[in-house]
Structure 1
């Protein structure tokens, strides 16, 4: 499901629902205010005073939003906004459930909110991994190499063995012409001190799309750049984009370690301006003409100039996503 643009009336109703959920346990905190402002500015194109908005009953919201896909997106949005706070409160969960029941929409994110609140972290990790970044990539590794191929990827990442043919293929990118995707990937790995897929401690090939997204979008590898890259990926995702946003918020806002590939952090949205940059990165991803995580054959593009790929796939300049 790609991001759907609501009408101004639907956006108004949705913001009223967001206010109901987020104020059910107390006043809005700064992180959530920043997130609401960024969503209004870049996604909804509204400028409503959140404090002046009247509450909305679930039944009224259901009358305002009738499209099933938009209803599911709205409930996903309520879950994402809830995760933008410092913690998830039981009263917020109850309000989300009330709206979900009235709209007849209960996406994965609702269940994941419950797992987080109840601290069922193993179930949370399995659920999010299955429905976001890792699940798709593990399925791809299984499709391409079977259990043996998946085991070799895991063994390389764990530093147990080196898969020399795979590693050699990536090292060969050094010979590619400057300005191409392949050369950029080689430089990206060497400058950041990363090991190539196949090398000991190298990332599994199934998650390489994330690093290529860094390169196409031009984002760095610090915490801010990592968060913006994941938001960018959520934007171009055609299947469950909110699953990736939940991954991002649970890992870096709620502080729950979901993957060994990146460190967790609590309260990333306290960083000034980051909420705005994340929403802009998401919007930038929505403008793309391809879902890079959906069977993109990146090896066929390794010899293509980066500027050409950005034009081909609709990677707009940062300024154009404002």
Structure 2
């Protein structure tokens, strides 16, 4: 499994798969199948970070799961959104998926109502009902990001969400200090230069 994920490095820049590979490398995430990696089902949502243009800080996770939940007509799609709200707003859930820890209060921060609402809007505007946690992204890995966005009907973020500070994976605010440190350490461990691909604090 890990070899398959590592092979995404061979895809051209601008493809979905290469974007996911670079997303992992910048943040020091271990590829599924490697020790210390996220479970494969949870890793599925990382493709959405790239496709829907969301960073990887805690507030961005709320946006990603709001987008995923609203894109599907299945009420069960709200299960993971409820999980992240309990983790990152109420703090009622101390941890989840073996990787997330509670960090409450993020929905109350400035601009998050606009960002959260826009993520729901963008999910609702996708073509049909899309379960992004069940999409075979490997069959789309070699396609340009813009083409896959068109396939699913993923519209750009609203002006209000952008004004509220919604970052993308490769912009300022799109990565956490912890992830920067992890990326640097993993690059050193593997003997390669460290690259954030544009992401910064």
User: Which interval holds the TM-score relative to the shorter structure?
Assistant: 0.7 to 0.9
SS at match of 1:318: coil
Select which of 48, 51, 65 maps to 1:230. Answer: 65
Q: Is 1:249 the equivalent of 2:85?
A: yes
Q: Structure 1: how far apart are the matches of 2:78 and 2:48?
A: 17
Please state how far the C-alpha of 1:244 moved relative to its aligned partner. 3.3
Q: Structure 2: how far apart are the matches of 1:306 and 1:284?
A: 16
Select which of 285, 294, 306 maps to 2:123. Answer: 285
Please state how far the C-alpha of 1:269 moved relative to its aligned partner. 2.4
SS at match of 1:278: helix
Please state how far the C-alpha of 1:258 moved relative to its aligned partner. 4.0
Instruction: Identify if the C-alpha distance between structure 1 residues 222 and 243 changes in structure 2 by more than 3 Å, giving closer, same or farther.
Output: same
Q: How does 1:209-220 map to 2 (within 5 A)?
A: 209-220=44-55
Q: Structure 2: how far apart are the matches of 1:242 and 1:303?
A: 29
Instruction: Identify if the C-alpha distance between structure 1 residues 311 and 251 changes in structure 2 by more than 3 Å, giving closer, same or farther.
Output: same
Q: TM-score, normalised by structure 1?
A: 0.46
Q: Structure 2: how far apart are the matches of 1:284 and 1:321?
A: 13
When Rg is computed on C-alpha atoms for both structures, the one with the higher figure is 1
SS at match of 2:123: helix
Q: Partner of 1:129 in structure 2? A: none
Q: Structure 2: how far apart are the matches of 1:207 and 1:242?
A: 15
Q: Structure 1: how far apart are the matches of 2:144 and 2:15?
A: 4
Q: Partner of 1:274 in structure 2? A: 112
Please state how far the C-alpha of 1:316 moved relative to its aligned partner. 0.2
Q: Deviations over 1:1-42 (max 9, x none)?
A: xxxxxxxxxxxxxxxxxxxxxxxxxxxxxxxxxxxxxxxxxx
Q: Structure 2: how far apart are the matches of 1:209 and 1:321?
A: 28
Q: Structure 2: how far apart are the matches of 1:177 and 1:282?
A: 31
SS at match of 2:103: coil
Q: How does 1:187-202 map to 2 (within 5 A)?
A: 187-202=22-37
SS at match of 1:186: helix
Greater relative contact order: 1 or 2 (C-alpha under 8 angstroms, separation 6 or more)? 2
Q: Is 1:312 the equivalent of 2:151?
A: yes
Q: Structure 2: how far apart are the matches of 1:310 and 1:316?
A: 8
Counterpart contact for 1:281–1:321, Cα < 8 Å: no
Q: Deviations over 1:217-266 (max 9, x none)?
A: 11111111111111111111221143333223211111122413222122
Ranges in structure 2 where 5+ consecutive residues have no aligned partner: 162-201
Using the TM superposition, name which of 201-210 and 295-304 deviates more: 201-210
Q: Structure 1: how far apart are the matches of 2:141 and 2:107?
A: 35
Ranges in structure 1 where 5+ consecutive residues have no aligned partner: 1-165
Please state how far the C-alpha of 1:270 moved relative to its aligned partner. 2.3
Please state how far the C-alpha of 1:294 moved relative to its aligned partner. 5.7
Count of residue pairs brought into register by the alignment: 157
Q: TM-score, normalised by structure 2?
A: 0.72
